[in-house]
Amino acid sequence: MNDNDIEAIDKKINEVANDDLNGLESNLNHMDSDELRSEAKEMINDCSRNELQKVIKLLIKISRKSFEDE
């Protein structure tokens, strides 16, 4: 297998992954809470420590905002 074949395979994998994410994003409004939690858990399992910190910071912001709204 040469570099062009590997690049083509990598490109196809990235295209499929992006298509899956686009499909998930477009279906968010149609998913129930359990489905959303399941998807979130699956995605969190693939996150690095740095990415997890970003996710938690976002959740903290959301929690703080909900306190302000009440």
- Domain of residue 18: give its range: 1-30
Are the beta carbons of 56 and 44 closer than 8 angstroms? no
Is 18 in the same domain as 41? no
Is 37 in the same domain as 9? no
pLDDT tens by residue, 4-44: 889 999 999 999 999 999 999 999 999 999 999 999 999 99
pLDDT for res 11: 93
Is 70 in the same domain as 42? yes
pLDDT for res 16: 96
Are the beta carbons of 59 and 47 closer than 8 angstroms? no
Is 37 in the same domain as 69? yes
pLDDT band at 3; cut points 50, 70, 90: confident
Q: DSSP letter at 29?
A: G
| pLDDT at 70 exceeding the cut of 70 | no
Handedness of CA 35, 50, 48, 6 (dihedral sign): positive
pTM of the complete model: 0.70
